[in-house]
Chain A
Amino acid sequence: MKPAPFEYYAPATMDEALALLAEHGYEAKALAGGQSLIPMMNFRLVQPSVLVDLNNIGGLAHITPGADGSLRIGALTRHNQVETSAVAEQYAPLIHFAMQKIAYPAVRTRGTFGGSLAHADPSAELPALCTALNGRFRLVSGRGERWVSADEFFISLFTTALEPDELLAEAEIPAMPPRSGWSLMETARRPHDFALMGVAAVVALDEQGRCADARIVFLSAGEKPMSAQKAAEALRGQSPSAEAIRAAAESAAANEIDPADDIHGTAKFRRHLANVLCRRALEQAFQRAAGKK
């Protein structure tokens, strides 16, 4: 199908873009890489009357390490820029690793980091990963700017904390503490298709080898990135034994996700996947944290 008619603006500066968004409010949509928005427009699932194309605005595509070990990624940074960035690999290895799992090569040349976050598809990788990594986002508008944590940013299905006059300008991924490890596990029927279930685990060990911190966030498991806080909390202070990991995965999959029942898989099957993937992800993350590959 073809998109419904709309007015198109391609401002050259952020100020102009923000003024257009402020003027048109809920009628307007920001266009970044378009790899999620344009399919929805082609199917007329969304029919914005105004499109504000951000692609001509300079300075929005960057991968910038901070002195504190954090990494900032500009909203218009294409997935394949992150995928091929040695800086991203060094500062945010989980994000870098995940890039190859996002859609297809010819989609990653256009799709953007900020676009994926603002789109807030609960089956996408980046919202779950930024949540697992305690990321935060800089939101700008004509009224000023504010930082919002990933935990607070994702509200529901395709719904975020962004006001209609705001744009997500960049994401900041904090440095992982010493003795940290990470993992991303997914199951999809076809390579690079939306995952039936996926989970990111980020853990840190204390000097005695006990779990100092754990974050477990599922994708394709509910209306937004589903953070298994109770299961993660139960791991803290414990030695990451096979038993503790098994218990955490079982409790996360049973109590802290809300997977859909659809033609691609039943909720029961997805819970089964969540349990198995979470166990494997925690095992791998703790192994990495202990310095074993």
Chain B
Amino acid sequence: MQTFQRSVTVNGERFERTVEPRLLLSDFLRHELGLTGTHVGCEHGICGACSVLFDGQPARSCLMFAAQAHEHEIVTVEGLGTIENLHPVQQAFREAHGLQCGFCTPGILTTVTAFLERNPNPDENEIREAISGNLCRCTGYQHIVDAVKLAAKKLQAQE
């Protein structure tokens, strides 16, 4: 079996691992690095639960091989904030009830974090467009949209 030595920066920390070609990036993060905040839902790019930031841009970690992440930088939900010190986007989701079961939340938080960096003052249509690739089966999205609006305010107040 082919294996590769791979060096990947995840949440600012460099990891060296040996991987086989077919190992998905999502499984690499969860099983090799123990970062189980990245959730695996559909494994075909529809649900968005596994979204991470790949070189700063949101991407499906289930649609990429770990072997492809060599010398790239990844941010998972664990890299956004800590329990004691939540990221403003996380804090906004908490305050605005932007989650119920929480399964879709890590993918939404990473996606929204990148979106608000690019578009700090979005309108509701832009917000709905930005999270169109993240399925939530609990909330009906209304509180998620509210949370993104609140997150935008928090981030702007920070600056």
Contacts and interface: CB of A to CB of B under 8 A. Distances in A.
Interface of A: 1-8, 10, 34-35, 38-39, 42-43, 51, 53, 55, 80, 100, 103-107, 109-110, 191-192
A103 B60 CA distance: 12
Interface string B1-31: 1101000000000000000111010010000
Nearest to B19: A8
A256 B80 CA distance: 52
A39 B111 CA distance: 20
- A contacts with B: majority SS: loop
Contacts, number: 90
A186 B22 CA distance: 36
Number of chain B interface residues as a range: 20 to 34
Interface of B: 1-2, 4, 20-22, 24, 27, 43-45, 48, 51, 54, 57-60, 62-65, 67-68, 111, 115, 128-130, 132-134
The B interface, classified by DSSP as helix, strand, loop or mixed, is mixed
Contacts of B54: 109-110
Contact of A53 (B48, B68, B111, B128): B68
Contacts of B115: 105
A10 B132 contact: no
Nearest to B115: A105
B2 A7 contact: yes
A106 B48 contact: yes
A5 B21 contact: yes
Given A35-B45, A192-B132, A5 B1 contact: yes
Contacts of A5: 1, 20-22
A190 B73 CA distance: 32
Given A53-B68, A106-B60, A2 B133 contact: no
A222 to B, nearest CB: 24
Contact of B63 (A35, A43, A55): A35
B22 A34 contact: no
Nearest to B48: A106
12 contacts: A2-B43, A5-B21, A6-B21, A10-B68, A34-B63, A34-B65, A38-B64, A105-B115, A106-B51, A106-B60, A106-B133, A109-B57
Contacts of A80: 57
B59 A106 contact: yes
Interface centre among B1, B64, B115 (most CB of A within 10 A): B64
